[in-house]
Amino acid sequence: MPAGRRALATLLAFVLIPGCATTNTELSVPVLGRTVTVVTEPAKREVKGELLAVEKDRLFVRAQDGVREIPLGSVREARVRRHDFGAAKAFAWALVGGLVTGGALGAACSSVEDSGNCAGVGLVTLGVWLGIGALCAPSLESSSRIKLERPTPDELRAFARLPQGLPPGVTPGTLGPADAKASPGGIR
């Protein structure tokens, strides 16, 4: 191997290998529980709010009117909102990125003497951004939510604020509704 290629391979190894070694493998745990919509049986009632705690036979959801205790055996389905970056935000980011990049490239093109169709450069750039946004939007929308049929405590714990259950001495009555301010001694 010639010396130039060996030097390039060594340089690439020094640049790329540390990135592999420092990759953070820890999960990002939210401070708040995820937003869930729980459908119960037999009345098919829906309770929507923050998933606070999951215990072996019940779960606690902070709804607008207060904390609801729901027996796990009556839960038919739970829809979990994992993130808020769906199709609409993907299109918005693609539009902004396309307008800014297309405008900048169009302006740069027009600063060159004898340049051709500079507006076309901006429009093509906008089209590429919107095309990529359209390709990414369905994936982002589908990854933003999960539907769990007859969920088990283990399936729901990953989305709760307090996955181990309510702390000793804390009752659902001490927890306020979703829009209430934090109260002394209560969890908010």
Q: What pLDDT sits at residue 13?
A: 67
Q: What pLDDT sits at residue 144?
A: 85
**C-alpha closest to that of 171 among 43, 60, 17:** 60
Q: What pLDDT sits at residue 183?
A: 37
Residue 38, number of CB atoms within 10 A of its CB:
26
Low-confidence ranges of the chain (pLDDT < 50): 21-22, 180-188
Q: Does domain 35-83+144-174 have CATH number 1.10.3470?
A: no
Question: What one-character-per-residue DSSP string does 75-96 give?
Answer: EEEEEEE--S--HHHHHHHHHH
Q: What pLDDT sits at residue 133?
A: 92
Q: What pLDDT sits at residue 186?
A: 40
Residue spans of the domains in the chain: they are 35-83+144-174, 87-143
Residues 99, 97: Cα–Cα separation, whole Å:
6
